[in-house]
Chains A and B, each alone.
Chain A
Amino acid sequence: MGYVTRRLVTFPLVLIGVSILVFVAIRLVPGDSITAMLGTEAGLLTPQQRVALTAYFGLDQNWLVQYWHWLLGLFRGDLGISVAYGKPVLDVIFDRFPLTLELAFLSMIIALAIGLPAGVFAATHNGRPSDLMVRIFAMVGQSTPSFVVGLLIIYMLSVGFGALPTMGEFSPFWKDPLRNLSQLIFPAITLGLAFAASVTRISRSAMLDVLSDDYVRTARSKGASARSVIWRHALPNALIPVVTLSGMEFGYLLGGAVLVEKIYALPGLGRVVLDAILQRDYALLQGSVLFIAFNFMVVNLLVDLAYSALDPRIRLGER
């Protein structure tokens, strides 16, 4: 319990660090949000208009003052107005987040459903041809870029079945589950396959380690069947690296998957960040990166809690 409290105390500190980093980094990039927002029409602005617009968005003040105002707003739950979307930053993020969250979940479920059994299978057939097959698939899956997999899926769907993945307006799961799944299942497979390949490799190597441990031999000496040895004695001990990897990948996915969102025309968080960078939308970028960092930290904390659920040595505080 003390451990979780300590972690929660460090949360705001890390977030402030992240916010300063983003705040400075985006301002070091050449270009300004007024030009980016208006495009070629920016050339039509009179100097007075430009000054007025800059003042309207608060961009004429020095960085320290800007940061201070932004921080104050943050404490009121106000992340500012997005220049690019013309909406409060928080609204933009919450519009997009459900899709990204769901996509990340589906990808992880697919990855674990394929990766864990494949890894365990490969480990228990170590050195045999079937193990080699699994390892080759995992290697290919891990090294193929997601946009290639995405394009291949679209190609196969359209040529093989004369169909396309459902596109158009995104419908949230709670409004139209079927349509929602039909929109997300192929993007989730696209992301999940590479994810599954990593899970396969790490669970295979973790299982191989564990299967040569003394307590596995003890379990066999007690007369436990091969199945019980693998699933009951070995796997729980091999899960820690799998959980670590899954947590990290899941955390990344919560930051959006730009390429896959683009291919399947999905309005996810990744596109928001990309737009914010291209448009020099300072408020939106700061807000969304902070949000992503926060999510990543929450996921990390959950991973740590999962460790202690998995392993009593961690649970009983002998850190």
Chain B
Amino acid sequence: MSPLLSVRDLRVGFGHDPEVNQVVRGVSFDVAAGETLAIVGESGSGKSVTALSINRLVDFGGGRIVSGSVKLKRADNSILDLTAATEPQLTKVRGAEIGMIFQEPMTSLNPVLSIGTQIEESFRLHRGLTGKQARAAAKDALDRVRIPDALRRLKYYPNQLSGGMLQRVMIATALACNSRLLIADEPTTALDVTVQAQIMALLAELKRETGMSMIFITHDIGLVAGIADRVMVMQNGQAVEQGELNQILDHPQHPYTQHLLHAVPHFASGQAARTDGKRDSEASVDPALRVDGLTVRFPVTSGVFRRPAGAVHAVEGVDFDLMPGETLAIVGESGSGKSTTARAILGLTKSTRGTFSAVRQEASARQSQRPVQMVFQNPYASLNPRLSIASILAEPVIAAGGRLDVQTRDRMSMLIERVGLPSNSLDRYPHEFSGGQRQRLCIARALMLNPSVVVLDEAVSALDVSVQAKVLDLLVDLQREFNLAYLFISHDMAVVERIAHRIAVMYAGQIVEIGRAAAVLANPQHSYTQRLIAAVPTVSRRKEHFELDTRQVPSLVRQPGFEPAPADWTHFGADHKARTEAPPYSQTAG
């Protein structure tokens, strides 16, 4: 029996001379009916271009298939070579036989059309359904992806739904006409980890129900373990290794696969947590940062005269302290208030109430007036492309009232070398550096003022896994050398396990659990922490079935004057406590 899809020696190029400028360089693979192939690789490996070449969407992105064949067995058992198909033929294949979902569900749906209209379009295009029939079919499609209250949701516009819901809508659209092949291009990368678990569970269930084949593209080898039958590893436009799931994960042959598997942070339930914490050994040291009852509320107004109608309680009574040389990780999902906490500590957002004090250390003579510095998530957007590296590094010094003198220049050269960049970097410009190098520059910039606390807001999330590992190593080295305190904000539990001494879990604006990293990860007490940890994909959890769970974060908008009940903590051991959960809390979350 011939496979559903058979790709042979696929070569895809871009630009004026696609022959020379090849991004995919001779890739071959088969996908059998009902099988899931995972394509794994880092950015620039050609994995997405390979996927887009299958349904020929690559044509619209300026790419051209230079040679090779992509043979699809169609529903009537005829074989069509998609590389030679005409555009009218392709429009009959796309959406009908090959469905596709993308990385960013928030931008992948048309903002001016209701989701009902967008799902109906598939039925209109491929089944000729219109009006009531199309509407009924669209409702069924939403039911299939387990969206509650489907009939009403059809009238919603994309901005009214969360990212996880939108990705379900995307899946419903892609599978509307019973496509036999689903191409999923990093479908969960933009989503929170618990939402990711739900989408993965849904895909697994739909696969069982429909017997469809799937090509699952990801950079996260942990996700692969949960869903794939076969794995193909790509590097520089070539498939360096492919085979059965277990064989690739347990006995990787190619050095790059081995490197990738090694570099990926493996979540180990707290066993890999750091043990060099300062808190246990030197109890008498003053904290580098103390935060007391930090509260941030954003007013909500209504009516002609904009009367205050309530407030979004983004951060509510957050307390913690941070010792010199210690890393506190704040983990939580989007909307949990973790970034707002960081912004408030830096004074970028005005706090409604609460105090925080950053204590200066006496150790260094040139101790900064501004003891808290920050490194941002996106290294591409956080460096001004028009400034040389020297100007970028000098800027915080000048902004703090310092001068570009010999001492400053010495510090610039020292830090550039210390973060592992070539010494001639100072005269260059940001575009000459890769993502990982840029993040090193951002770290050097943050250290220019010799801070005692560095806030790292998702500082490694945008980097490829192998680069991520190196930057994390650098951060740990710098921490030891300068006795830095890190406030490490992240959604990625595996990364957090690598770097944190202590972990604070935030949910709906509040810390629900805080304590020693090993204790929190190995023995989570709060139900939300448990849910978060259960959702982390790991290589060891193969083909595990996630439970479908449609719980949403409760609304943080409160009536004016609302004050939450004071926290009631339950202690578990010396440095580990969790909020006591009132019974109604866990019920209303449904």
Contacts and interface: CB of A to CB of B under 8 A. Distances in A.
Interface of A: 2, 5-6, 9, 213-215, 217-226, 233, 236-237, 310-313, 316, 318
B304 to A, nearest CB: 5
B109 A215 contact: yes
B91 interface: yes
A236 B111 CA distance: 10
The A interface is mostly helix, strand or loop, or mixed, namely helix
Contacts of B69: none
Instruction: Find the residue from A213, A214, A310, A316 having the highest chain B CB count within 10 A.
Output: A214
A237 B174 contact: no
B20 interface: no
A313 B112 CA distance: 8
Given A217-B60, A222-B121, 7 more contacts: A215-B110, A218-B100, A222-B95, A223-B122, A233-B113, A313-B157, A316-B157
B112 A316 contact: no
B159 A316 contact: yes
Instruction: Find the residue from A219, A224, A237 having the highest chain B CB count within 10 A.
Output: A219
B247 interface: no
A221 B111 contact: no
A219 B110 contact: yes
Interface of B: 55, 57, 60-61, 87-88, 90-96, 99-100, 102, 104, 107-114, 121-122, 125-126, 157, 159-160, 170, 173-174, 302-304
Contacts of A233: 110, 113
A2 B95 contact: no
Contacts of A225: 88, 91
B62 to A, nearest CB: 10
A2 B304 contact: yes
A221 B112 contact: no
A223 B118 CA distance: 12
B112 A220 contact: no
A218 B170 contact: yes
8 contacts: A218-B170, A221-B100, A222-B94, A223-B94, A233-B113, A311-B111, A313-B159, A316-B159
A223 B95 contact: yes
Contacts of B174: 221-222
A213 B107 contact: yes
Nearest to A223: B95
Given A220-B94, A223-B95, A312-B159, A215 B304 contact: no
A200 to B, nearest CB: 22
A18 B99 CA distance: 58
B110 A223 contact: no
Contacts of A217: 57, 60-61, 102, 108
Contacts of A313: 111, 157, 159
Contact of B159 (A215, A237, A318): A318
Contacts, number: 86
Contacts of B304: 2, 5-6, 9
Nearest to B119: A222
Contacts of B112: 236-237, 310-312
Instruction: Find the residue from B90, B104, B109, B113 having the highest chain A CB count within 10 A.
Output: B113
A312 B173 contact: no
A9 B93 CA distance: 55
Contacts of A221: 55, 57, 94-95, 99-100, 174
Contact of B121 (A5, A224, A310): A224
Nearest to B122: A222
A93 to B, nearest CB: 32
B126 A223 contact: yes
Nearest to B110: A215
Contacts of A311: 111-112
Contacts of B60: 217, 220
Contacts of B100: 218, 221
B277 to A, nearest CB: 43
A2 B91 contact: no
Contacts of B173: 218, 222
A119 B57 CA distance: 24
Contacts of A214: 102, 104, 107-108
B483 to A, nearest CB: 45
B157 A218 contact: no
B109 A218 contact: yes
A215 B96 contact: no
Given A214-B102, A237-B110, A312 B157 contact: yes
A9 B126 CA distance: 51
A282 B272 CA distance: 84
A220 B173 CA distance: 12
Lowest 5 A-B CB distances belong to which pairs?
A223-B95, A222-B95, A223-B94, A312-B157, A221-B100
Instruction: Find the residue from B57, B102, B108, B157 having the highest chain A CB count within 10 A.
Output: B108
Given A215-B108, A221-B174, A237-B112, A226 B87 contact: yes
B56 to A, nearest CB: 9
Nearest to A9: B304
Nearest to B94: A223
A313 B303 CA distance: 19
Nearest to A313: B159
A164 B289 CA distance: 84
Contacts of B159: 312-313, 316, 318
Contacts of A236: 112-113
B102 A218 contact: yes
B157 A223 contact: no
Contacts of A219: 110, 121
Nearest to A213: B107
Contacts of A213: 107
Instruction: Find the residue from A214, A217, A222, A224 having the highest chain B CB count within 10 A.
Output: A222
B399 to A, nearest CB: 33
B193 to A, nearest CB: 22
